[in-house]
Amino acid sequence: MPGVGEQAPDFEGIAHTGEKIRLSDFRGKIVVLYFYPRAMTPGCTREGVRFNELLDEFEKIGAVVIGVSTDSVEKNRRFAEKHGFRFKLVSDEKGEIGMKYGVVKGEGSNLAAERVTFIIDSEGKIRAILRNIRPAEKHADLALEEVKKLVLGKKAERVGEAI
């Protein structure tokens, strides 16, 4: 698993909308990259719903939220439509993205991502990793706290540079 301070591995995947997404497409923005085990399950639903509830706050401070699971594009599409998710859900059916981040376990039909959230800064560096957080929906609240700290730190750096 890449660590805090390391460059986040770039990846390419298909979002539930059918569009191709690369992490590098979001350079210049803070990215909240959250891995979740299975669409349509209780924990993943609560987590996704909470990210959606907080999405306006993330966007106001310049952050993008992207969810990744080993579910198919179609299952992620149904999941997003059912709950009105306004952020992208990326399909990682072979676990290739999850392997780059060290968050995949199992094999074949048992392949699943662990519930881990990476906060990636505008230059593509990992600034925080959230794992083993319970309940699942708390990932969204903690991610927002980390993004706010990152934004405040950047503002403080700019103020310091101006002096």
Which pLDDT tens digit goes with each residue over 13-42? 999 999 999 999 999 999 999 999 999 999
Which helix (H) or strand (E) is 69 found in, with range?
strand 63-69
Question: Catalytic pick from 23, 31, 44, 112?
Answer: 44
- pLDDT value at position 91? 98
Asked if the model's pLDDT at residue 48 lies above 60, the reply is yes
| pLDDT at residue 158 in the model | 40
Is residue 6 predicted with pLDDT exceeding 90? yes
Q: Which two tokens stand for residue 90?
A: 């990326």
pLDDT-derived band at 160 (thresholds 50, 70, 90) equals very low
Residue 156 — very low, low, confident or very high, per pLDDT cuts 50/70/90? very low
Per-residue model confidence (pLDDT) at position 133: 86
Q: How confident is the model at residue 163 (pLDDT cuts 50, 70, 90)?
A: very low
- Token couple for 74: 């179609």
Domains of the chain: residue spans and CATH: 12-162 (3.40.30.10)
Give 80-89 pLDDT, tens digit per residue. 999 999 999 9
- pLDDT tens-digit series, residues 95-150: 999 999 999 998 888 899 999 999 999 999 999 999 988 898 899 999 999 999 99
Q: How confident is the model at residue 154 (pLDDT cuts 50, 70, 90)?
A: low
Residue 162 has pLDDT above 60, yes or no: no
Closest Cα to residue 140, out of 112, 121, 117, 114?
Answer: 117
Query: For this structure, is 44 an active site residue?
Result: yes
Q: What is the pLDDT of residue 69?
A: 98
Residue 120 near residue 10, CB atoms below 8 Å? no
